[in-house]
Structure 1
């Protein structure tokens, strides 16, 4: 055996709570059976609930006698957000950070035979651990794959191969490999390190071997160099890949070997001509993607990742922004294979609004000096881990430092910017081949801190030809539940493709769950991965494919149940996506939204809720006469699933789970998370509009709408036209309950004006109407609490200048 790596996603048990001492003793037999990936919050229907606390996992692993003396490790690809790992009661590793892979050496803790693995996971908000804030759901759990790795004591390090192509031409591409070799033996070892490059047809190049003596207990980097003749370049239209296989030999004996995929390409972001790939201009048009999904939350499988990327590709888009944290390494692998560029992002993340210390509405950068060192180090560590595990992917064109970190308290903005600059420099040091971006950089001077500026929302119009490489990293096009409107209305001028702008990235591809009130419903595809009508508008716009016939009202008499695959693996990497449709007497889907229950009648698989699940309009899991859910199994065999609904003919479907035979068992599945830890209440003294995006009927250059939410800046908005009906609207972005609005004018208004609020940005309700004149520059309006996501000022006769709009 040279090296073995296998998934151990199956056969775990789980218990809510800290379970002090359970790492030493067998857990309560009432623990629940789970498979990985797993989330604390199953099933997850976007309910306004959020378990914050501890959860513990336990599993046994068998260690054959032949493994004695080998390097044995556990690889975790993502645990949110603090993990303590024990083997046979002994603490063998601890990792802080919820989005990056890590490996735990268990060589000295295991014995031949059965060994117990215990993992305690903690997802409490931590003032010293990024992210401190974000528009997302911070569910805990071992929500990505876990593998067992066995290798030689003289070996290639974990993610220890880095491949670059520093010179690329039509006739020849240089290939360099940095290979990290570990010697865990008690004495020095003379090694020979070599590598071979292959394409789909076989070997195409060899990198000259290098001999090196490595001291005991140390790791050395060995540089290899070679070239590929007539290289095939990687491009979204033809995502051709190569593999590099590196080996380490001692005394003519192969001790270890690893393979990594890479692509040959070059690219450039320019300040005046946009983005170029392989010397050709490419207009970037893509979508932001969060990782959580209907029923399963963050705990999606690799099959789910493949489907997510395929849906974005099907739209005709060519880039994905991994909002707003490092994604599963497999996500980048699939972008490589399917042909989508990838903006890989770090979680230096802000949300704004209430600024509540103690929950994920806090200042992006710590407000207390004692929290700063550990917080900063958590981001340095995560950046190192993201780049190390993702560096060979040709799809990745930038390392982004974060998103909207300007949502930090004013007194620490300087420190937040200094940390951003430091992380940009660290990204350059770790990977000189890619630029570093700053996402959501439309406020407080963050846009000039990186190589590329990503502007969100109204940043698209504020920064007109900024003189630096840039793109629109978020623009908002759709909102709401259910099918949505077909045609998408763009804002802030993003419909214009300026030559100096590299492109635009929609917010967002999929609905997601968020702690932010009213957030998460802006996807082209819903939470359960059912395409909404605007999905087909984009596909028609980008690919010229006419939309399907959308279902109309009708009375269903039967059900149809289908899946995207007939088989799925039992190792936790796969599932099947089930779609159920309500059909009329002619077999046509109709918008009859009665609830449908899916039940496993034969087999050992399960839905996120167990052996059955009900899809309904109440949980947004069924609309327009159809619903979808992902189904998985950790035991092989036939899985027979039945769909039923009141008053209609049921349907059945059979899929097969494939994998090693296992004893039949009855799974005891966990119920909903048992409690929700409440977040601290806001003080009500922070304006919910501060630094938020603004829309206006028009604006004179230099007097943009964004001035009204740049509180304390003494700048103001001025309409470009004096026509009646001018307006300016401050977006809270999320739906809050407000009871106070403050309007500040640079001069006493001489025209009548109207204040309105809205929960959806479309339908407005008046709250105050004022005639011309008055003595006050600042008007304070107090009223019974009402829900609002937008505050708008309208001028029925002629506009007046506005300095600030605040909401509390």
Structure 2
């Protein structure tokens, strides 16, 4: 039987770190409540009673996604659209005790997200249910707690058995963090702060802070709210104090104003962050304190000029991201999200669209810190369904509460600059779209008026688009149909525009079909017959799209040259589990849309964006150089900061090429001969970059490249290790698909393996994986001890390869 979790230990840790941050003893205690839960996957039990015997259950730490632990299968009810992974009903239980001095506290258990249809019990008392698996929520538990050393039991049921309920992979279970929060009875309401900067200049910024305070005492109270702005160096730079009375059982909102002199503005290049530290006092006793993120910036969407940030015109260069992290499933790991965002940032992206649901608060914090503009999206469906069991079944009961909680949770993040109330909503085609759009926009505006409300639309004929006809949107988002973009200002006079979703290019990393200049829609239409390739691959040249899409180059050419289009969000930044267009049938089980594959390995088109979206010198030449003798091979080069590229084969020049207006790559058609392909970019006759590709020999080595040299002492820390199969000279073997076996010892464990191939059905939690196109990924998670980690990799050739991570 698992040992009862002693809250006193975690309380001591929380107090220590809080004391390091402020001189005063903290009055709000926030505990990481993720460790030592019990889990059982079962549709047939009722484990809600506190005395239920869970002694045989599995012990694990949260966050947790049971679906990603399962086997891929064609009969799993979520279908290939849901990632072809199992779902079902899961139960979680945790036994804990609480300090005696919490008898006079308000105690909340807060969940970042539970997928799906959750219900929570404390000591057998039902606290409530939540249908939406993407919404953060919490419950007050103090009146049900047991003291005097007695055990408390929290039980969570997650029912993801109704399928299909999504067009993509959702994950299952308590897949985001759980926290336990204790405050005084005079306290800041959950998500009860709201900070805005209504006046910003180079000399000063006016900061307005709304603080909602709840009084749970049996008598009225006179409270004091003290807020101070802390800069990035930890210095207090502005302060405000307000006194107010509040009746028993009531809430009051206190508004405070402060001025920051010579503010450092938040931008995508320099995302400077402040914070507002707020304290609540009952007389001289501090009863609560809370930190609110603050980024000082101003922005504008203009019908003619597009978007500007802090007065500087700029194009929003965005990608759409789903919430999963490949082999890790839906589990939220900060290191995994940082890796995803880092790949996008290096490519030149400055914006993220949270397709098509609220993502974790961790992602938004990282967007604040790393400098991404966010289009924060609430819904993929309203009352009209897209799949049988999607959100339309919960719309009437939950949409208002879900939207309110979503806005309140995210409105203090400076990265968030747009609220999207829906993606390709079917109500845009009938008059119900008018009523619902006005209702949803009203809910948003009641909680935040500082950002535009938008929706990702597909109908670009005004008289047919009822969401547009509501007159409620501040910003019109249009998906696809790029040929109509130039005429949008004529069709929608005075409107402001953003390309909310575009491209839907399809590709499998390392696979190539020639000739590369034949553009294809796979399939040609929704009901068109389609065969594709027997191995479920798609060419990685920018030549294949879904029937509704356009190539990356076609799309960027349009958006780049239309100033009134504020920006673009590419579908999609990274491959995701589920929605395996163009292949509807198993074993295809993850998407082909990404600029980066599911394992985090860039596809070739990544470098087209990097050449266009950054000032970093780029010269990317592809494909590989292992072909049949004499075969004609289309050689592409993406480049920038140069006038021309010259290509050489085994020292012989194949000619110089330059991009013409509206072109984003150059191409040579080259009869294959083994050896070395070399590209040289020049500007004004001077060499900018050189790149070589060598014909690879047989597989002889495994090269392991960890993304860090050491683990921090944190049980959530990850290390992503890239495995390349190379020949004896170190050249990647581009067609290698050998099985690689992994073993880890020391202070970490393997939590995922992947190779980016959309039809690979090896479990993501296996200890072996076939390479795909010469590459594989293994993900390690620290156990928090700091012990040295040894990772061994072995294939059917060469010697075992070992690396150390300290």
Is 2:118 the counterpart of 1:98? no
Match of 1:494, SS state, is helix
User: Which residue is equivalent to 1:72?
Assistant: 107
Equivalent residue in structure 2 for 1:476, among 496, 499, 503: 503
Distance in structure 2 (CA, Å) of the matches to 1:436 and 1:390: 14
CA contact (8 A) 2:315 2:567 kept: yes
- What's the CA shift for 1:45? 8.4
Change (3 A) 1:525 1:255: same
Equivalent residue in structure 2 for 1:490, among 546, 549, 553: 553
**Runs (5+) with no aligned partner, structure 1:** 127-131, 657-808
- What's the CA shift for 1:635? 5.1
User: Which residue is equivalent to 1:545?
Assistant: 617
User: Which residue is equivalent to 1:640?
Assistant: 790
Q: Which one is further off, 453-462 or 95-104? A: 453-462
Q: Which has the higher helix share?
A: 2
Distance in structure 2 (CA, Å) of the matches to 1:345 and 1:324: 6
- What's the CA shift for 1:568? 4.3
Change (3 A) 1:44 1:608: farther
Is 2:12 the counterpart of 1:12? no
User: Which residue is equivalent to 1:631?
Assistant: 780
Match of 2:734, SS state, is coil
Distance in structure 1 (CA, Å) of the matches to 2:592 and 2:33: 34
Distance in structure 2 (CA, Å) of the matches to 1:638 and 1:241: 35
Change (3 A) 1:351 1:644: farther
Q: Which one is further off, 321-330 or 597-606? A: 597-606
CA contact (8 A) 1:555 1:592 kept: no
Is 2:481 the counterpart of 1:458? yes
Distance in structure 2 (CA, Å) of the matches to 1:311 and 1:423: 34
Change (3 A) 1:396 1:655: same
Is 2:791 the counterpart of 1:619? no
Distance in structure 2 (CA, Å) of the matches to 1:204 and 1:540: 42
Distance in structure 2 (CA, Å) of the matches to 1:634 and 1:93: 33
Change (3 A) 1:435 1:356: closer
Change (3 A) 1:604 1:110: farther
- What's the CA shift for 1:243? 0.9
User: Which residue is equivalent to 1:795?
Assistant: none
Equivalent residue in structure 2 for 1:339, among 371, 376, 397: 371
RMSD across aligned positions (CA): 2.8
- What's the CA shift for 1:486? 5.3
Change (3 A) 1:54 1:495: same
CA deviation map 1:719-745 (0-9, x unaligned): xxxxxxxxxxxxxxxxxxxxxxxxxxx
User: Which residue is equivalent to 1:33?
Assistant: 59
Equivalent residue in structure 2 for 1:140, among 144, 151, 172: 172
- What's the CA shift for 1:542? 1.8
Equivalent residue in structure 2 for 1:531, among 580, 589, 602: 602
User: Which residue is equivalent to 2:426?
Assistant: 406
Match of 1:530, SS state, is coil
CA contact (8 A) 1:134 1:350 kept: no
Match of 1:607, SS state, is strand
Is 2:352 the counterpart of 1:320? yes
Distance in structure 1 (CA, Å) of the matches to 2:110 and 2:249: 21
Q: Which one is further off, 109-118 or 267-276? A: 109-118
CA contact (8 A) 1:159 1:389 kept: yes
Q: Which one is further off, 629-638 or 134-143? A: 629-638
User: Which residue is equivalent to 2:737?
Assistant: 594
- What's the CA shift for 1:9? 2.0
CA deviation map 1:616-671 (0-9, x unaligned): 95628743311224322445344332212111322223335xxxxxxxxxxxxxxx
Match of 1:392, SS state, is coil
CA contact (8 A) 2:559 2:567 kept: no
Q: Count the aligned residue pairs.
A: 633
CA contact (8 A) 1:6 1:148 kept: yes
- What's the CA shift for 1:125? 4.2
Match of 1:239, SS state, is coil
Change (3 A) 1:157 1:70: same
Q: TM-score, normalised by structure 2?
A: 0.73
CA contact (8 A) 2:700 2:797 kept: yes
Q: Which one is further off, 296-305 or 16-25? A: 16-25
Distance in structure 2 (CA, Å) of the matches to 1:653 and 1:26: 45
Equivalent residue in structure 2 for 1:555, among 698, 704, 715: 698
Match of 2:335, SS state, is helix
Q: Which one is further off, 255-264 or 182-191? A: 182-191
CA contact (8 A) 1:343 1:396 kept: yes
Is 2:663 the counterpart of 1:522? no
Distance in structure 2 (CA, Å) of the matches to 1:454 and 1:357: 23
CA contact (8 A) 1:350 1:403 kept: no
Distance in structure 2 (CA, Å) of the matches to 1:229 and 1:349: 44
Q: Which one is further off, 298-307 or 393-402? A: 298-307
Distance in structure 2 (CA, Å) of the matches to 1:569 and 1:148: 24
Distance in structure 2 (CA, Å) of the matches to 1:280 and 1:44: 49
Distance in structure 2 (CA, Å) of the matches to 1:531 and 1:561: 17
- What's the CA shift for 1:340? 1.0
Q: Which one is further off, 615-624 or 231-240? A: 615-624
- What's the CA shift for 1:5? 1.1
Distance in structure 1 (CA, Å) of the matches to 2:754 and 2:502: 34
**Runs (5+) with no aligned partner, structure 2:** 1-25, 74-79, 511-538, 543-550, 584-589, 626-695, 762-768
Equivalent residue in structure 1 for 2:46, among 21, 35, 58: 21
For residues 626-775 of structure 1, what are the structure 2 equivalents within 5 Å?
A: 626-634=775-783, 636=785, 637-655=787-805
CA contact (8 A) 1:37 1:572 kept: no
Which structure has more relative contact order (CA 8 Å, sep 6+)? It is 1
User: Which residue is equivalent to 1:236?
Assistant: 268
Equivalent residue in structure 1 for 2:571, among 500, 504, 507: 507
CA contact (8 A) 1:51 1:139 kept: no
CA deviation map 1:223-260 (0-9, x unaligned): 11111111111111111111110111122222211112
CA deviation map 1:415-442 (0-9, x unaligned): 2442122111221121011110011343
CA contact (8 A) 1:45 1:294 kept: no
Distance in structure 2 (CA, Å) of the matches to 1:486 and 1:478: 10
User: Which residue is equivalent to 2:457?
Assistant: 440
Distance in structure 1 (CA, Å) of the matches to 2:146 and 2:383: 48
User: Which residue is equivalent to 1:121?
Assistant: 158
Change (3 A) 1:152 1:652: farther
CA contact (8 A) 2:601 2:756 kept: no
Distance in structure 2 (CA, Å) of the matches to 1:538 and 1:390: 29
Distance in structure 2 (CA, Å) of the matches to 1:218 and 1:460: 56
CA contact (8 A) 1:510 1:527 kept: yes
User: Which residue is equivalent to 1:247?
Assistant: 279
Q: Which one is further off, 28-37 or 467-476? A: 28-37
Match of 2:297, SS state, is coil
- What's the CA shift for 1:53? 2.8
Change (3 A) 1:28 1:230: closer
Change (3 A) 1:382 1:441: farther
- What's the CA shift for 1:61? 2.4
Match of 1:619, SS state, is coil
